[in-house]
Amino acid sequence: MSVKNITVDHDNEGRRIDNFLFSNFKNIPKSKIYKVIRKGEVRVNSKRVKPDTKLSKNDLIRIPPNLINQEKTLDINISKYAFLKDRVIYDDEDFLIFNKPSNYAVHSGTKNDHGLIDILREVLKDNSLNLCHRLDKGTSGCLVIAKNQKFLGFFNNQLKQRKVKKIYHAIVKDFISEEMVIEDSIDTNTKGSFNKVSINKNGKEAKSILKPLKKLDCSSLIEIEILTGRTHQIRAQCEKINKNIANDKKYGCKDFNTRLKHSGIKRLGLHSSEISFLDLENKINTFVADYDDQFEKMLSYLNT
């Protein structure tokens, strides 16, 4: 296979060359990409580059044959995941909103060959898709996916400035009678055998607002707005106040989970219900994701 040349467009102007290659050759390990950069096989305007070299519009990037040859074709059964098309809530030229199913990891890992983003690129036939944020494997609901680098950077800046509003619905043990604010410090570096985060003074600020929505049998449906976005924030804070989320294997209540086991429902009782943010025209967009059948079934089971 011959050398491939790519001309940098407006969307990729200002990006680092390593990040550009990561997003364009998603199936190649980063270590291999760094290796071809280091050996001078990747060139910009015929010159050697470093990983942090910034790209300019109309730059010509030389992609070596060995990098192209190493790119793997993902073995994804598209027909198996065709149902995911129906879970797209909104789609325009800059981003799409996806109602993520529970029990799908957004990224590939040791326990799954393909992440949800890999599957969506294949099913929707769009290799430009990139995650704007993450949801835990067991969490369902609103997931924002960028369709170009300009929107991805724009959304990430809103996250950093805490301008993205995220509302979750959770099925939890016991009740809360009124709105409550939880402020903690979550340490994501202190992890035990179950890969749990810990709440301690050495962590980073974590703030959530909880509101009661519906009383169930020895449990309740609550709304949670997160004002910070720490790893496992909702799950860890609910455990701390003894309002454990249903079917949470890491932060849950054993007795509560055992009761749910008899229902045959296995999914986590956490759903990303609503998300609000600015689009590239600085207009506020709000999107809502409906519950799936299993979440509805859990509500019905606990309402009897």
Catalytic residues, by residue number, are 136
CA angle 7, 13, 14 (to 5 degrees): 135
Cβ neighbours of residue 20 closer than 8 Å, sequence gap 6 or more: 8, 12, 55, 61
For residues 91 and 145, the answer to whether their CB atoms sit within 8 Å is: no
The conformational region for residue 45 under phi > 0 = left, psi -120 to 50 = alpha, else beta, is left
Q: Tokens in use for 150? A: 């300009």
Alpha helices in the chain (DSSP H): 17-24, 30-38, 65-70, 116-123, 149-160, 233-240, 254-261, 293-302
Measured CA to CA, the distance from residue 146 to residue 127 in angstroms comes to 11
What three-state secondary structure class fits 185? strand
Contacts within 8 Å (CB) and 24+ apart, 158-161: 158/277, 158/278, 159/132, 159/133, 159/229
Sign of CA dihedral 250, 160, 205, 98: negative
Q: Spell out the SS3 assignment of 232-294.
A: CHHHHHHHHCCCCECCCCCCCCHHHHHHHHCCCCCCCCEEEEEEEEECCCCCEEEEECCCCHH
